[in-house]
Structure 1
Amino acid sequence: MKFSENWLRQHVATDATRDELAATLTAIGLEVEELTPLGAQLDGVVVARIVSADKHPQADRLQVCQVDAGNGTTVQIVCGAPNARAGLVAPLATIGTRIGDITIKAAKLRGVESSGMLCSARELGVDADASGLLELPGDAPVGTPLADYLGLPDASIELKLTPNRADCFSVRGIAFDVAAACGSEVAAFDAAPVPAQGDAALAVQLDAGADAPRYVGRVIEGVDASRATPVWMAERLRRSGIRPVSLLVDVTQYVMLELGQPMHAFDRDLLRGPVGVRRGRQGEALTLLDGRDVVADPGFLVITDADRAVALAGVMGGADTRVTEATKNVFLEAAHFAPSAIIGRGRRLGLHTDAGHRFERGVDPELPRTAIEVATRLVLDIAGGTPGPVTEAVLPEHLPQPRTIALRRARLARVLGLDIADAEVERILRALGLGVEANADGWTVTAPTRRFDLAIEEDLVEEVARIHGYDTIPTTLPGGATRLAAPTETRVPEQDLRRQLAARDYLEAINYAFVDARLLETWQAQAGAVPLANPLSAELGAMRTQLLPGLVAALARNAARQQSRVRLFEIGKVFEGRDPGPGNQDPEQRPAPVETLRVAAVACGDASSEQWGEPARRVDFHDLKGDLDSLVALSGAKLDYRPAQPAWAHPGRAAEVLRDGVAIGAIGELHPRLQQALGLDHAVVAFEVDLAPLRERAVPRARTLSKFPSVRRDLAFVVAEDVSWQAVADTVRAAAGAVLRDLQLFDRYAGKGVESGFKSFAMGLILQEDSRTLTDREVDAAVASVTAALESAHRARIRG
């Protein structure tokens, strides 16, 4: 919020200096982000008129001007401004005036005497424009001190407001806080109704329910819209960061800045009537004031004229019904829109407007009629005209009502840690515009409708604290014992997983949770992707559904920078959109995506760093599998693997990862087509699994080791090539039963002695009992059971 210091002081009288005022605003939570003094040294600068402007005899870019300074004589000024011309009214710095670090003296420029200086806005410190002389209105009184004419000195103050302080998006709203902090009162405001002088009116219809519960309008006929905006109004707009456009538009902007109520002016002769508010229709098109064509949908509110959309409610008006200097009859509107109906709508179209900024945060529902009366008076005073009656449509059941909140004296003292006198509490609350009624326990406070942020007792405690002064609240250490939370044994700490991967030569990467939607399509991972309504860039347009696309992209960037061996891991969230259900296509109402924490790793290049102790070889599936097994080993568990074909993986070189029979992710080598699409020259192996199953571990339980010896039997079976070791191992464990303590695969062979299409698995069975020594008969029975099971399940036979 940007505003003029003098404008604020018109609403609240205070003896505070400019610096004290700025410090007070920041201290009460309205942070002053920028303060720009304007026109601090203008003594000796007067309003002057150029009578004639002739070319300098010795310089092409200079003119010799005769200037009327209002003292009955003309002075000669040599000027190089491109807009210097006869009849122009501009500021004149007379001899002896100090402008910045320069004192104006009589001088000769290229042989021609000059007795003063015609000034630009930048030279005077009232604006940043240095393109030419500051052009003043033609009716400006010549000879008047410029400071008096422009209402200077002044300052432009910009506040950095928090979203909850919507009431401070107006000069008058800020005045209440200043009055409370400075011990003064807000000046009375003249918003007396302007009586109707004609019958011209437009009917108003509300068809948006709680989204638009109030709409106020008024027709004013016979206005002279070509009249110039008064200097005092134009200067206040400029100092508030708004460029004056035309009288009718400037009036609506002025009222919005002063009261906080956005308004709009329609050309009445371009309206057919009646005017209404409703939800947009799918594909409904209109052209906005800035010239862009937009398409509405049921997520937008639109202002209608005879059922045609003429404006986006709370965002921007339409070009077809805009006012111009040729407008004779104007229709002024002011409405109340629910924040939920406006929030995010402008961003969907790439728009940010002052009106939308206010409506998104909440505007006082009681302001529209006041704003119409104030705007009417301004239009009549400046441009004349005949006002019609005020037309108002309202749905009372949907209007926010003033809240009544109990503030307990004891609670206030307990939270703040100090006692504040009842009289001071009441003064603060009343100065803020709140209704206060004392009772035995404290006060019953009625919050005005403009204060959307006041709902519970703690809100009132905060109001008293910030106005009384945070620096007056004593600093005390909290008392009582501190409860220490013991780490659980049922989960492996996430940091331990990070340390384990770092110990195995991986570097941690942190990627954006947003990726290019086209990258997800390349990975065939676009299913469930959630697009962003307002992405930072096109390359960050969707929420990631996998970690690997971003991680492999990071690997590719490193490989492109001559890093032949890259090993990266990431722990982060992936997101999957949920079905909003039939008929619910409003992006604002869709359920939040499902978040899943995962761990992923990628590797390429040599398996080991460069060294001389063993031959170099490329990292492969089994290297990465060993790294993943080392992670789950921290929980004392084991992972199972079964052949699978993820969309991103090389056929025959990938597997699904399971824990306790539940799939938790995948591991494998990148598909050659994907490698080519990503510009990778070498094979890349990767895994991505859910993090939560890796962290689960059973509470350690002690048990007695068996005192009896174990027995080992080594067996070799021939099975078909397509039979996996995992399937064989599962069968062996099921057949051997409780006596099988461990199973080791110590050889896999295919070649001479084994027919084509088959392979041999050599395994060791470790058998043991806790209560006795196993007999040869029991061992032979277990081996026979395993042999029979393998023959039945996999057509295996003992290798001769």
Structure 2
Amino acid sequence: MIFTQQWIREWLDASADQAILTPERLVTQLTMAGLEVDAHGPVAATFSGVIVAQVVDVQPHPDADKLRVCTVDDGTQRLQVVCGAPNVCAGLKVPYATIGAELPGADEGKPFRIKKAKLRGVESFGMLCSAAELGLSEAADGLFELPAEAPVGTDIRSYLDLNDTFFELDLTPNRGDCLGINGIAREIGALNGIPVAAPEMPIVPATIEDTFPVSISATDACPRYLGRVVRNIDVAAPTPLWMQEKLRRCGLRSIDPVVDITNYVLLELGQPMHAFDLARLQQEICVRLATPDDELVLLDGKTVQPDTDTLLIADASGPLALAGIMGGEHSGVTENTRDVFLECAFFAPLAVAGRARRYGLHTDASHRYERGVDFGLQAMAMERATSLLLQICGGEAGPVTEQLGDLPATREVSLKPTHVARLLGMTMSDENIISILSGLGVELIAQSDDTMRFSVPSFRFDISIEVDLIEELARVHGYDKLPVTRPAVRMQLPEQPESVVSITRLRERLVTLGYQQVITYSFVEPGLMAAVQASPPPVPLQNPISADMSVMRTSLWPGLISTLKHNVNRQQSRVRLFETGQVFLRREGDHEQTIRQPEMLGGLVYGTREPMEWSQGRQFVDFFDIKGDLETLMGLTGHADTFSFANAEHQALHAGQCARIVLNGRHVGLIGALAPRLQRELDFSQRVFVFEIELDALLAAKVPEFSPLSRFPEVSRDLAIVIEHQVSAQALREVLRAEAGEYLVGLRIFDVFQGDALGKNEKSVALGLTWQHPSRTLGDDDINVIIERCVKGLEDKFNAKLRK
């Protein structure tokens, strides 16, 4: 929601001290009250020396077909100005930049100064300006046309009152009441103790008896619908400049007077409205749910086939609009429209919620109806829109017709002042409580010794229980003004059993290794999710935030890859990321749709092995870098030897650099390089390596046990064997540990060789084995027996040969 300082002042008591409405104060005050100000700034770019002028005469340029030589009256003299705008004509009043004026330049912070110039040999004393050249719009088709009553010679900033500030609010979904100037003014008034003084909105009497019939079949979805016929309007009438400016400053462009008026009421009161071309309506308006045969072409040209739970505005010919979202092209107001039917309705939030996103839409109307529109506001909005329409476009208004469905019940909430003191840590007087809540529209209806009973206004859908009222008291009083108290309970330190590795310790170790933790959405883009992990199929969301976040993740990799893409696009060439979080898995063919939510740890590395500096070569990470980092985490458990890696295949990983992580025979994760195809599709110039492992596998630790150190020396032997190249190191270790006996204390691979000296599919592996007996020195005879047993075991298992 965007509003301006000047518009808000129109809704507050003029006798109030305007110093409290300064931009800086409003930003702080609204944000602290829960209405976060995302941005604020001037409503127009900085410029000077621009005045209102009138074009007196226009002649062709002697040497340029597209230029005109204009005579301009600036109120004191007549000057010659060369102009190329297509809409320049005699009698037009426009902004005129005088000699020495400064206009917003193309480069921010560098104004453009107007000088006397010659254009194709003709002198030009100044410049006639478009709205874009004054920084009032992003584009313009011609000169900024001012009203005929604009006083010549007046400074344009003063005439348009451009010394104004806009504020953009990022409202939480429960504060739909602040999606209008009236609601924001009510908040500011309550926060500052200023009475709200709304502009007069008189009832417009009917001057004709024409009506158009309305019926509601979906009474739960549409509890109130108002309609009014207005005949003989002039759609070609210009929208007043004051209204155009208010719309522009709030982020809306002027279209035509009818649309501008409905948009103005939307911004002013927070009530969406729509105008139908009365001549195109047939028989009656019916508010109903869609049927399977319905089809509608919307105002933006998009054709939709609404689902049967979508609320429609229809007539005898079929659908006219998606209720609360967007009107249809067939029944919209055009330049030939003479009679309109104004619609003003209350649609239940649940009847509109999610429907706009379902059809790829997001409109100002749906944004408000989803959050809740005041169901007592429609009559006022209808009168306001009718008054503006007759004032601007002329015409004759018929009586307002109203159809009612199942309106929400009025709510009453009780409040005990003692509960206020207990929850806020401070005592508030009854007078203060009543004053704050009445400023928010919550009126006292009864009071006893220890209880107050309040009536909740129809625009506050978020107030239903006592703590809601207490929250309002804290918010208006000021969260920063609440007393700070220490907890009155004795704090106990949590137990930290040695059999558990804390998540904090895992995170700290990864940070030490150069990783950065990220927290990504559990909702991911379906295409990327399918490319990374198609099975099991992800759980779709019924009401997604956006099309790019419409399924639940089955892996942490899509979030990590998206984060990497974001960083690479910003010239980050070395990235190491990790994330802990849930994934959402369902079994294929599971009719009950049972969803498991295991906690996972995922990691990603990309780019060079070390940060770039003069002493380090440009070496890129490989599979063994990320595998080594993962093994470091496994080492924290104290039983790293129970983890193993085995060859695997995965759709997102390189066929030759993919391994599953196994713990005690159970598959607990994957590690590997991103598949070249996926790497190309994502436009990564370097290899991407990822891992993902069940968090529980890294949290269970082995409790250390003391064993006395042996006083006897270690005995070491090296063993070089020739085996087939597909035999893994893990398989060798398993055989050797089984054959080498209980006194084996060290086993390492210190060399791997492949070359012409060996067979085509063979490799030589050199291993170092170390033994130590606790009570005696092992002799050569003992070791030779063990070596023979080890060699025999390797021969039997892998057809291995000792290398000579």
The answer as to 2:281 corresponding to 1:271 is: yes
- Counterparts of 1:126-205 in structure 2, within 5 Å, are 134-138=144-148, 140=149, 152=161, 155-163=164-172, 164-187=174-197, 189-190=200-201, 192=203, 194-195=205-206, 197-205=208-216
User: Distance between the aligned counterparts of 1:108 and 1:743, measured in 2?
Assistant: 92
Contact 1:639-1:657 within 8 A present in 2 as well: no
| 8 Å Cα contact 1:76-1:113 kept in structure 2 | no
Query: Residues 312 and 499 (structure 1 numbering): CA distance in 2 closer, same or farther, change over 3 Å?
Result: same
After superposition, residues 567-606 of structure 1 pair within 5 angstroms as: 570-573=578-581, 575-576=583-584, 578=586, 594=597, 596-599=599-602
Task: Name the residue aligned to 1:20.
Answer: 20
Which residue of the partner structure matches residue 778 of structure 1? none
CA shift for structure 1 position 13: 1.2
Among residues 429, 433, 449, which one is paired with 2:437 in the alignment? Answer: 429
Q: 2:587·2:595 contact (CA, 8 Å) conserved in 1?
A: no
In structure 1, the partner of 2:222 is 212
Unaligned runs of 5+ in 1: 585-589, 607-617, 707-718, 748-755, 770-782
Once the two structures are superposed, what CA deviation does each residue of 1:50-101 show, in whole Å capped at 9, x if it has no partner? 554457999975422468x6xxxx9534344545432224578999x9999x
Q: CA deviation at 1:465?
A: 3.7
Shift of 1:201: 1.3
State the AA in 1 paired with 2:699.
Answer: R
Equivalent of 1:695, from 699, 706, 713? Answer: 699
Give the equivalent residue in structure 2 for 1:611.
none
The correspondence for 1:306, drawn from 309, 313, 316, is: 316
Q: Which residue of 1 aligns with 2:378?
A: 368
Distance 1:287 1:130, change over 3 A: closer
Q: Which amino acid aligns with 1:203?
A: V
Distance 1:9 1:685 in 2: 58
Conservation of the 8 A alpha-carbon contact between 2:660 and 2:671 = yes
* Counterparts of 1:129 and 1:276, CA distance in 2: 41
- Matched letter for residue 695 of structure 1: L
Q: Structure 1 residues 580 and 150, CA, compared in 2 at 3 Å: closer, same or farther?
A: farther
Shift of 1:192: 3.5
The answer to whether structure 1 residue 64 and structure 2 residue 71 are counterparts is yes
> Which of residues 444, 448, 452 in structure 2 aligns to 1:443?
452
Greater Cα offset, 658-667 or 671-680: 671-680
2:34 corresponds to 1:34: no
Match runs of 1:51-450 below 5 Å: 51-54=56-59, 62-65=69-72, 76-81=78-83, 82=85, 83-90=87-94, 134-138=144-148, 140=149, 152=161, 155-163=164-172, 164-187=174-197, 189-190=200-201, 192=203, 194-195=205-206, 197-207=208-218, 210-280=220-290, 285-298=295-308, 300-306=310-316, 308-382=318-392, 383-396=394-407, 399=408, 401-436=409-444, 437-450=446-459
2: CA distance between counterparts of 1:352 and 1:574?
30
CA distance in 2, matches of 1:98, 1:651: 64
Counterpart amino acid of residue 34 in structure 1:
H
- The alpha-carbon deviation at position 431 of structure 1 amounts to 2.4
Residue aligning to 1:613: none
Whole-angstrom CA distance in 1 between matches of 2:123 and 2:348: 65
Quote how far apart the aligned CAs of 1:371 are.
1.8
Structure 1 residue 240: deviation in Å? 3.4
Secondary structure, counterpart of 1:237 in structure 2: helix
Partner letter of residue 459 of structure 1? D
Shift of 1:286: 2.8
- 1: CA distance between counterparts of 2:686 and 2:267? 62
2:666 to 653, 662, 666: 662
- Give the 3-state SS of the residue equivalent to 2:583 in structure 1: strand
Cα distance 1:545–1:375, how it changes in 2: closer, same or farther (>3 A)?
Answer: same
Larger mean Cα displacement after TM superposition, 266-275 or 520-529: 520-529
* Inter-partner Cα distance in structure 2 for 1:603 and 1:76: 68
User: What is the root-mean-square deviation of aligned Cα atoms in Å?
Assistant: 6.5
Distance 1:425 1:518, change over 3 A: closer
- What's 2:634 paired with? 632
Q: SS state of the match for residue 357, structure 1?
A: helix
Query: Structure 1 counterpart of 2:434, which letter?
Result: E
Q: Which amino acid aligns with 1:460?
A: L
1:464 aligns with 2:473: yes
Q: Distance in 1 between matches of 2:730 and 2:475?
A: 68
Q: CA deviation at 1:234?
A: 3.7
Which amino acid is the alignment partner of residue 515 of structure 2?
Answer: E
How much does 1:379 deviate?
2.9
CA distance in 2, matches of 1:125, 1:553: 36
One-letter amino acid of the structure 2 residue matched with residue 392 of structure 1 = Q
How far the C-alpha of 1:322 sits from its partner, in A, is 0.6
The structure-2 alpha-carbon separation of the partners of 1:52 and 1:448, relative to structure 1 and needing over 3 Å to count, comes to same
Maintained 8 Å contact 1:526/1:545: no
Per the alignment, residue 646 of structure 1 pairs with: 649
* Matches of 2:194 and 2:454, distance apart in 1: 20
Aligned in 2, Cα 1:344/1:675: closer, same or farther, shift over 3 Å?
closer
**Cα 1:76/1:109, change in 2 over 3 Å:** farther
- Counterpart of 2:634 in 1: which secondary structure? helix
Question: Alignment partner of 1:217: what SS?
Answer: strand
Residues 288, 311 of structure 2: 8 Å contact kept: yes
Distance 1:512 1:282 in 2: 42
Task: Give the structure-1-normalised TM-score.
Answer: 0.70
- List runs of 5+ in structure 2 lacking aligned partners: 105-110, 610-619, 711-722, 750-760, 775-785
Tell me, in whole angstroms, the C-alpha distance in 1 between the residues paired with 2:51 and 2:293: 57
Give how far 1:358 is off.
1.7
CA displacement at 1:276 relative to structure 2: 3.1
Structure 1 range deviating more: 324-333 or 508-517: 508-517
Task: Quote how far apart the aligned CAs of 1:44 are.
Answer: 12
In structure 2, what is the Cα distance between the partners aligned to 1:674 and 1:112? 62
User: Which residue is equivalent to 2:9?
Assistant: 9
Q: How many residues get paired?
A: 741
The 3-state SS of whatever aligns with 2:367 is helix
Q: Which of 1 and 2 has greater Rg?
A: 1
* Contact 1:202–1:274, Cα closer than 8 Å, also in 2: yes
- For 1:455, the aligned partner's letter is S
Aligned residues with identical type, % of pairs: 33
CA drift of 1:167 comes to: 1.2
Aligned partners of 2:467, 2:473: CA distance in 1, in Å? 10
Shift of residue 41, structure 1, vs aligned partner: 12
- Cα distance in 1 between the residues matched to 2:364 and 2:737: 72
Contact 2:650 2:658 in 1 (8 A): no
- Checking the alignment, whether the CA contact within 8 Å between 1:509 and 1:551 is kept in structure 2 is no
CA shift, 1:267, in A, is 0.6
| Contact 1:289–1:316, Cα closer than 8 Å, also in 2 | yes
CA contact (8 A) 1:38 1:153 kept: yes
Quote the offset at 1:3 in angstroms.
3.7
* Letter of the structure 1 residue corresponding to residue 42 of structure 2: T
Instruction: Note the C-alpha offset of 1:335.
Output: 1.9
